[in-house]
Chain A
């Protein structure tokens, strides 16, 4: 059993996402400590990519800020930061990045380093079920969960995906890319019931969620809620001074789920 399960043992899970190095790795580190303290159950750490094709404008901009900042943020520097984080952070942490970041580093080298530094899961939005073996075999050997995603268009694919899923199932709430939305129309309950019919695995909903009301609504069906763009917006606004604002936001979201 992987560590990721622990994220779902404290009521409905709140899972914040941030992009490493936005605005700097030092600030990322402080934000992670603050988010754990404010009640986050797991943290999704984005490794920036030059061409994040699954992201909307908010997280695209975070990737540009991270890669184009004063320090050159690299995969190695992020590994160093996580190693340091892990000495203090107890909740599970997962990386979110794109296939080429892992592939170019070498899947074996990347994923075994994840294990070494205390990363519990890996989310690769451009790796669908059909392509996952290349990465999943290495993940399994290193006890890192390669997280499976399901989307509103998955329909008959959910059974196959859920059957092979590990850690948790990432339920994409809406069509399109990441970003806050005023309304989510997908029948999340139905998506999740298809997963649960196949496998007893936690389901967390992401894409488009920004406020406590939405989180509460999603948690009626889901085991957890993932929020990225809403937090990245706060970081974009306050930069190096974002820590207390992110902390306050995470606290309010976790409270809505409790």
Chain B
């Protein structure tokens, strides 16, 4: 079995053309991940540029309203660029710079990862090109404009379903054609080794902070941590430092779209099966012949037919639970959190809020729940308005 496995999941299923680049990346990652100077620079940028540590906010009205567990919100939405994506981008860009790369490319779904990459590229003076499904450039027009404003070139992808999976395929294709000076800033805990491990390590700052912040506020660990899951980077970040704490329930919230009993869904753990795609062995939505399914979710960021290999493993061993949340439930949660706490979550994060709303009620008042609010929802307002039958100009 090759390197970088989580049980049977993971591996390096990529064209030969990229293998030396993958080894080069692995070497750099292994060399710098525990390097004092690298980590000093990383922490400084996370704090001074991205605005970390992000707040762990006690949602008092929500807690009272639901009448169960005490609810804390991990405010990744308050990071610079509006989501958790920047944690990983800063890490990979510092690594890319040390590897002598001058150009970065990235895929994006909702546009959050693309914006974060374009932002840090601007700050570091690196050339940046973003691949985004044509469908998503329409759904997230504002983010396309932001990326261009930041100096990035945005390539709409027409292949396949013109969404996130096609953007990932296209970025891999682009990488095989220009490797020497280019690093692919993969945005989630997926793809070939070392990406799932590396992205997790850069996102693990989320659970490290939750743990310390909750210790300070409550003197104990949470009973449950919830996060939305597409590829799974914010969830992996929020779970990581709790994996060994067996009493902490970890719940990943997948996008069920119009329901897991329909074809219009993106809930991989709930509807997928084991496969090999985008560089990894993991669970994928696919048909009986292994053709990747055209998945659907209202959320462009969760609209992906696979899931990171470490999540697949946590599911296999029963360490984390993966539940499916429909469009309807997510939109209701989007509106609920806006009204009750004055926080507009990303539609992605609203999937976690939706499940939390069901679960909190069933828990005791002395129990603690943490919901990772992975991003802010400004980008989604026009789409949610449309969903509710209201046409507004962005």
Contacts and interface: CB of A to CB of B under 8 A. Distances in A.
B123 to A, nearest CB: 29
A7 interface: no
B125 to A, nearest CB: 25
A172 B279 CA distance: 19
Contacts of B20: 153-155, 157
A130 B290 contact: no
Contacts of B195: none
Nearest to A72: B289
Contacts of A157: 16, 19-20
A54 interface: yes
A3 interface: no
Per DSSP, chain B at the interface is mixed
A50 interface: yes
B289 A105 contact: yes
B122 interface: no
Contact of A100 (B17, B169, B284): B284
B167 to A, nearest CB: 11
Given A100-B277, A100-B284, A130-B3, A51 B292 contact: yes
A53 interface: yes
B284 A126 contact: no
B176 interface: yes
Nearest to A174: B177
Interface residues of A, number: 40
A175 B179 contact: yes
Interface string B276-290: 111100001010111
A28 interface: no
Contacts of B273: 104
Contact of A125 (B15, B289, B292): B15
A49 interface: yes
Nearest to A74: B289
A249 interface: no
Contact of A154 (B16, B159, B178): B16
Given A128-B15, A131-B2, A153-B17, A100 B177 contact: no
Nearest to B23: A157
A128 B178 contact: no
Interface of A: 49-51, 53-54, 56-57, 60, 67, 74-76, 98-105, 125-131, 149-155, 157, 161, 172, 175-177
Given A104-B286, A154-B16, 7 more contacts: A105-B290, A125-B16, A128-B12, A128-B19, A130-B12, A175-B176, A176-B176
